[in-house]
Amino acid sequence: MKLAFGIAKEIQEVEVRDDLVLDVLTASEFVSDKDERQLVEEALSAPVSSPALEEIVKPGQKIAIVSSDITRPMPTWKVMPALLDRLYAAGASPEDITLVLALGSHRPHTGEERRHLAGDRAFSEIRVIDSDPDDVVHLGTTKAGTPCDFDRTVASADVRIALGNVEYHYFAGYSGGAKAMMPGVSTRSAIQMNHRMMVRDEACAGRLEGNPIREDIEEAAAMLGVDFILNVVLDAHKNIIYAAAGDVTAAHRKACAFLDTIYRKPIKERADIVIVSQGGAPKDLNLYQTQKALDNAKHAVKDGGVVILVGACQEGLGEKTFEQWMLEAKEPHDLIDRVRENFKLGGHKAAAIAMVLERADIYLVSKLDDELVRSIFMKPFHTVSEAYAEAVRTLGEDATVIAMPYGGSTLPIVTG
């Protein structure tokens, strides 16, 4: 069987014996017969486990709408018109509504970025601001020790509405839901306390119950109080194909369940070799981006197996802190210890790679310098065929294979 993988703007193929290929994982096809505005309107009209917005909002109340920053794919500008129409119908005034773009620990936006995220209508009608991690209200501490410190504008509002897109998150389980509030409009110290739990096995993609990070997020958000959410699921082209609104937990879970029908891929058993790609450009520009495919692939490989990670990485490692941590580590476990002691964005992805390396070897098919690849604990190759031949020499001619040509989007789950 010929297996094909995107790398930059090229396709590389590798021949694998048919009987050794356990599965080729791709997203399920889904085409909505409704346009994006209709999907959003219908979600707002049929909220999950919640009264409608028109019943929640009263004239004169201060309303904070929290949505994602520029680093996230949430198309805030697409949902704001329908949301504003509902709020105005409930008697809200434009001067009482603030759209807060949740920075987490990211940089502030430019004015043009705020306009882009909000959309022209919202930007011209209501106040649009960034969250401020230096001006917060302290509401307590979670059982895990996370300080519940939230942006003052959000904390002091009468009504809080959270927006977000739902996709797999490699240690919070899924994005969306209460995550808009924690870590979205919280502080670096809170993010540090929450995210340090990423090294626990239960903190993984596709898991909600028993996931310490997700449970801590939702405990913190409950202290704040979230009155309503609107979450969407996007296709590969970033179009809205599903929307759920209502209760912060129940509506989020409904969106997660829909996501699973497309991107959650059951497998009967793990394979000796997993060959995984982001699908090529632009998703494999650097190792920082390509890591997402690796993290999903870890769920499909046997302990002691090999992950062949295919990504051009022509722009290098891709992020300053990530590169620094990877190059400073003497061995992979150093990265896990480091993130436990001092969670830092960028460094957290280095720790995630180390967690894979503790279970399997990583063969990196890329355009990176061979010595650089070896220095970050991976084996360098320039073609998938060469990497596969080496994996077979190491694991034997009967080594089984799972292929993940769009690894950043598909989450393998063992059901056998």
pLDDT tens, residue by residue, 67-106: 999 878 899 999 999 999 999 999 999 999 999 999 987 8
- Predicted TM-score (pTM) of the model is 0.89
Torsion angle defined by CA atoms of residues 37, 39, 42 and 44, in that order, rounded to the nearest 10 degrees: -70
In contact, 217 and 134? CB cutoff 8 Å: no
pLDDT tens across 26-40, in order? Answer: 989 888 889 999 999
pLDDT at 71: 79
CA–CA dist 370, 364 (Å, integer) = 10
Helical residues (DSSP H) of 225-331, grouped into ranges:
250-263, 287-297, 320-328
CA–CA dist 77, 279 (Å, integer) = 27
Mean pLDDT of the chain: 95
CA–CA dist 114, 123 (Å, integer) = 8
Q: What's the rounded mean pLDDT across residues 356-377?
A: 98
What are the helix and strand counts (H, E) for the chain? 15, 20
β-bridge mates for residue 101, sequence order: 67, 130
Residue 261 predicted with pLDDT over 80 = yes
pLDDT at 282: 85
pLDDT tens across 127-179, in order? Answer: 999 999 999 999 999 999 999 999 999 999 999 999 999 999 989 999 999 99
For the record, the structure tokens of 153 come out as 């504008």
CA–CA dist 349, 292 (Å, integer) = 9
User: DSSP states of 352-399 as a string?
Assistant: HHHHHHTTSEEEEESSS-HHHHHHTT-EEESSHHHHHHHHHHHH-TT-
Amino acid, single-letter form, for residue 162: A
Q: What's the rounded mean pLDDT across residues 52-65?
A: 97
β-bridge mates for residue 414, sequence order: 267
Those residues whose C-beta lies under 8 Å from the C-beta of residue 112, and which sit 6 or more positions away, are: none
Amino acid, single-letter form, for residue 7: I
Q: How far apart are the first and last CA of the chain?
A: 24
CA–CA dist 228, 271 (Å, integer) = 42
pLDDT at 141: 97
Q: What's the rounded mean pLDDT across residues 214-218?
A: 98
Residue 236 predicted with pLDDT over 90 = no
Confidence of residue 181 (pLDDT cuts 50, 70, 90): very high
Task: Name the nearest CA neighbour of 104 among 136, 80, 77, 63.
Answer: 136
pLDDT tens across 306-318, in order? Answer: 999 999 999 999 8
Residue 343 predicted with pLDDT over 90 = no
Q: Which domains can be identified in the chain, with CATH numbers?
A: 2-27+264-414 (3.90.226.30), 36-234 (3.40.50.11440)
pLDDT at 203: 95
Higher pLDDT, 345 or 193: 193
pLDDT-wise least confident of 14-23, 224-233, 278-287: 278-287
% of the chain at pLDDT higher than 70:
100
pLDDT at 72: 84
In contact, 400 and 16? CB cutoff 8 Å: no
CA–CA dist 89, 74 (Å, integer) = 25
Cα 245–Cα 122–Cα 78 angle in degrees, nearest 5:
50
In contact, 296 and 263? CB cutoff 8 Å: no
Confidence of residue 237 (pLDDT cuts 50, 70, 90): confident
